[in-house]
Structure 1
Amino acid sequence: MSLLSSSIILYQFNKNSPTSDWRIVDDGVMGGRSSGDFHINESGNGVFEGVVSLANNGGFSSVRYRKTFQIQSLKNIRIHLKGDGSIYQFRVKAYSSDRHSYISEFQTSGEWETIEIKLSDMHPAYRGRKLSIANFDQDQLEEMAFLIGNKKEQEFHLEIKSIQLF
C-alpha cells in the first residue's frame, strides 16, 4: 500500500483572486525609484511586473503575501510560473515580525515551468546580506514574497499560477 504525499496550496490564482492580498514593497522605502505592480490577468494568473531602477541607491521590487500556514512534515515549495528569463528570489518568513527572510534564487526560462525549492536550502538574509544563522527550519510560514534585484536596471514580468507546499 503506497502512501499519498500530502500538500498544502499556499495560493492558487484565478480570475477572482483579490489583489489586495498581495502588497508591493519597492526600494522607495529607502529612497529608490523602482516601481512594481501586481494584478490578475485575463487568464487568472497573478502578474508581478514593473521596472527596477538603480537611481537614488535603489535596485529592487517585491510583492508579499501574509497568511499563517503550518508546515507539518512538508519540506518543499512548488511554484508554477512563467518568467521573463530573469533571476528572481522566492522569500519566506516564519514570522512576519522577523527582520530577516529566508531566500532561494531561481532563473526563469521565459516559458511556463515548475520551480521546486527545498525549505532547508533557503538561507537567511537581511537587506541583501547573508546571515550566519541556520537555514530555514521552522514549523510555520507567515509571509512569502517574490523579489527582483539583480543589480541592474531592467523591466520585469513574472506570471504566477500557484504556490504549493509539499
Structure 2
Amino acid sequence: MKYLLATLVFMTLMTSKIIFDFNKDSSIKKWRIVNDGVMGGLSVGSFTLSPDGHGLFEGEISLENNGGFSSVRYQFDKLQVTKDSYIGIQLKGDGKDYQFRVKDNAGNYYSYTTTFPTTGEWEEIKILLRDMYPSFRGRKLDQPNFSKDHIEEIVFLIGNKRTEHFKLLIDKIALHQS
C-alpha cells in the first residue's frame, strides 16, 4: 500500500506534453529531411506515413563522396523543460543505432546528442535531456551537457560509418517532466 501511494504521488507530479503522435491523418509537412548531400554525399533518406499511420524514416546510407548520414528534423514552438525532463519515444527500429538530437534554439549550429540502439521490436526509448552532449558535425564540443530551459527542435539521425539500408518507425514522442 505504501508503495502504491508513493507511485501515485510521483505520477501526479509528472506531466507529459506530446511533441508528436503519429496516426493515419497526421500532417508531416513540418518534418524535413537533411541528408549528407549538403556536404556532397550521396545518402538518400525519406520521411512518410506508413500504412498503419506511423512516421517512417528510411533510406540508404552511402559513404561515397565523404557522405554517411541521413536525418529527419521537426521544429515546433518552444517547450519548457526542467533539469529532470526526459523524452519518451515509442518506436520500432531495425536493430541499428540512431542518434536523437535536440536544440534549444533551432538557429544554433550545434545540437545536443545521444545515441540509442534499436531492437527490431516496438519499444519505448527514454532520453534524459541532461545526459545529452553538445556536438557539431559528429564531434563532441567542449561545452556542458544540456541544461537549457526549453527545446524547439528534435532530430533523428543515422550515421554509423557504413553503407546500409535503414528503417525507423516512430509512433509517439513525448516530453515528460516533474
TM-score (norm 1): 0.97
Q: Aligned partner of 2:66: which letter? A: N
> 5 Å matches for 1:106-125?
106-125=116-135
Picking from 44, 48, 56, the partner of 1:35 is 44
% same residue: 51
Give 1:69 deviation, angstroms. Answer: 2.9
> 5 Å matches for 1:1-166?
2=9, 4=12, 5-73=14-82, 75-166=85-176
Does the CA contact (< 8 Å) of 2:98 and 2:116 recur in 1? yes
Q: Distance in 1 between matches of 2:92 and 2:146?
A: 26
Give 1:20 deviation, angstroms. Answer: 1.1
Q: Aligned partner of 1:63: which letter? A: V
More helix as a share of residues: 2
Bigger Rg over Cα: 2
Q: Distance in 2 between matches of 1:72 and 1:134?
A: 17
Q: Does the residue aligned with 2:127 lie in a helix, a strand or coil?
A: strand
Q: Does the residue aligned with 2:130 lie in a helix, a strand or coil?
A: helix
Which sections of structure 1, spanning at least 5 residues, go unmatched? none
Q: Distance in 2 between matches of 1:164 and 1:121?
A: 17
RMSD: 1.1
Give 1:19 deviation, angstroms. Answer: 2.1
Aligned residues: 166
Moved over 3 A (4+): none
Moved more, 95-104 or 72-81: 72-81
Q: Distance in 1 between matches of 2:79 and 2:66?
A: 37
Q: Aligned partner of 1:32: which letter? A: G
Q: Aligned partner of 1:38: which letter? A: F
Q: After superposition, what is the alpha-carbon deviation per residue over 1:63-98, rounded to whole angstroms, capped at 9, x for unaligned?
A: 000012322435101000000000000000000000
